[in-house]
Homo-oligomer: A and B are copies of this chain.
């Protein structure tokens, strides 16, 4: 009997980065890449790349390197990224609306199906500038269930973040990308990644003396 191998969160994270690098190699029709070259592109050490991959199996050819297409597909499978993943966005204020207009998610295999906000005025207003449908918060439980949505982007003001997160989880959401600068309490089966833009900037400012 073997112990359930514990894969570090950071390895998973780097897998996404490797895949992006592989995508670029593929665009340039490069078929083979060594751990050294790929690691360089991803900003890590070659041994780390190899260790990360080792959690999932053996994909390289000794003496040769990795097949770009094969490795990209494998990582895509691991990350569950080989099929389009539907996402909703909750909170269409400054940042939320900004993320709606930012098209970058679609290219990477995610589709924002709809956005939600608690304010009818904002729903009406944002609706005029976005192709993505925007609805009232009250509608998201039904929407999530009907469309089998598992991922949500949360960009509501701090005082509402926890209650909205709880409602999302109740409606069946399993993963939240949280832009609200606060710690969310969620059940263990729900995964939260936080992006805190102000903290990123603030953290940088330490390093400039």
Q: Which residues of A contact B (CB under 8 A)?
A: 12-13, 15-17, 19-20, 41-43, 78-81, 85, 87, 94-95, 97-99, 101-105, 107-110, 150-151, 153, 174-177, 181, 183, 191, 193, 195-209
Q: Are A197 and B20 in contact (CB under 8 A)?
A: no
Name the residue among A94, A181, A203 with the largest chain B CB count within 10 angstroms: A203
* Contact A206/B104 with A87-B201, A197-B195 known, Cβ cut-off 8 Å: no
User: A174 and B85: CB pair below 8 A?
Assistant: no
CA distance A12 to B207 in the complex (A): 9
Hey, which chain B residues are within 8 Å of A176, CB to CB?
204
Given contacts A85-B205, A151-B208, A191-B207, 11 further A-B contacts (CB under 8 A): A12-B203, A20-B199, A41-B183, A79-B206, A80-B209, A81-B205, A174-B208, A176-B204, A177-B200, A193-B200, A193-B203
Give the residue name and chain of the B residue nearest to A7 (CB). Answer: B206
Q: A209 to B79, alpha carbons, bound, how many Å?
A: 9
Residue contact B174 to A105, C-beta cutoff 8 Å: no
Nearest-CB residue, chain B, relative to A181: B20
Q: Which residues of B contact A105 (CB under 8 A)?
A: 197-198, 201
Instruction: Give the residue name and chain of the B residue nearest to A110 (CB).
Output: B201
Identify which of B43, B94, B104, B199 contacts A102 (C-beta below 8 A). B94
A200, B205: Cα distance in complex, Å: 23
Report the minimal beta-carbon distance from A91 to chain B, rounded to whole angstroms: 12
Name A204's contact: one of B20, B78, B103, B177 (CB within 8 Å): B177
